Amino acid sequence: MTQPIIDPKQTLQQILTIVNYQGDKQAFIAKYLALCEQNTLLALLENLSEEERTALEQKLDAAATPEEKKNVLREQFSEEDIAESSYNETKKSFGEMMQKLLPTLDKNQKEELKQYFESSAKALQDKLQLSNE
Amino acid sequence: MCMTAVETHSTPESATPSGALDGELTHQIGASERKKGPFGSFWRKVGASALASLGLNVAGNEIIRSQETITTIRTPDISSATVTLHEGVLANVGEGLAIAGSLGLFATGVAAIYGLFRDRRLRREGKKN
């Protein structure tokens, strides 16, 4: 499996630390990523016709093991579809999260968050440039 | 009996970062569960393990061969800072996201903020309803 260029768990952990999140950070991260996965599959399912959904359910019924079920899903949805749904759903979700979060931050937290995003964006660009060389 | 009024200045939960994050996460989970309703039987058939491994083969190194459009945006909600985003690359990173452990949240997250602020800027400038 290819590793992500940026680790989403680490990113969330950093954001939660900056905003002084008082709860269980790991639990929050796990719930949030599970939500993103669920929303991704929901978006994919919503794009199927009734007939396609029925056919997919029948295939899943016939698949006995998790591995077989996984293969059924991969046959149904292309990597492009999955990636696009994942991107769109996470983008929407995270945007809404930030919309609620930002007004509660003090000046220092906003500044720190801004710096984190800037440095992360730069780090990402550097990594991409290195990979291209 | 004489009662003395005590003025308190408690902060509503939603006005704190933790409260805002927890509240929004709960809200989003609730919305997602409601959306899941019609697909209940489907969900049971899929199983969590299959769901979590849906997109794991996306090749991240292929993603980076992308156009490079540097976009500079103003972020009114985070001071007056300028955040420079590698928009084209971010978009392409997003396209290559795997769903489970390799979900590229940063790329999507930053892109989300970019979109959010861009929309607000456009609204302010009267370019968007």
Q: Are A94 and B108 in contact (CB under 8 A)?
A: yes
Interface of A with B in 1-20 (CB under 8 A): 1-9, 11-12, 16, 19-20
A33: Cβ–Cβ under 8 A, 6 or more apart, which residues?
Answer: A8, A9, A12, B100, B103, B105
B124 falls within a domain: yes
**Identity of the residue in B53, B100, B116 whose CB atom sits nearest the CB atom of A95:** B116
How many domains does chain B divide into?
2
Q: Are residues B37 and B72 in the same domain?
A: no
User: What pLDDT score was predicted for residue B21?
Assistant: 95
Quote the domain boundaries for residue B20.
Answer: 15-46
**pLDDT: is A24 or A133 the higher one?**
A24
What does each of the 129 residues of chain B score in pLDDT, given as a tens digit? 444 444 455 566 678 999 999 999 999 999 988 988 877 777 777 765 555 555 433 322 222 222 222 222 233 333 222 233 333 333 333 332 222 222 334 444 433 433 443 444 445 555 544
pLDDT at B63: 27
Share of chain B above pLDDT 90, in %: 12
Is the pTM of the predicted complex or chain greater than 0.80?
no
Angle at B104 between CA B99 and CA B106, to 5 degrees: 145
Residues B123, B95 share a domain? yes
B73, B116: one domain: yes
Query: Using N-to-C axis directions, what is the helix angle for A8-18 and A107-132, rounded to 10°?
Result: 160
B36 and B73 belong to one structural domain: no
Three-state SS for B119?
helix
Cross-chain Cβ contact B42/A11 below 8 Å: no
Which one has a higher pLDDT value, A122 or B105?
A: A122
pLDDT at B80: 28
Report ipTM for this prediction.
0.88
B66 with B117, same domain: the answer is yes
Same domain for B63 and B123, yes or no, is yes
Using alpha carbons, select from B101, B105, B96 the residue that is nearest to residue B66.
Answer: B96
Neighbour-count burial of B23, counting CB atoms closer than 10 A to its CB (0-12 exposed, 13-18 middle, 19+ buried):
middle
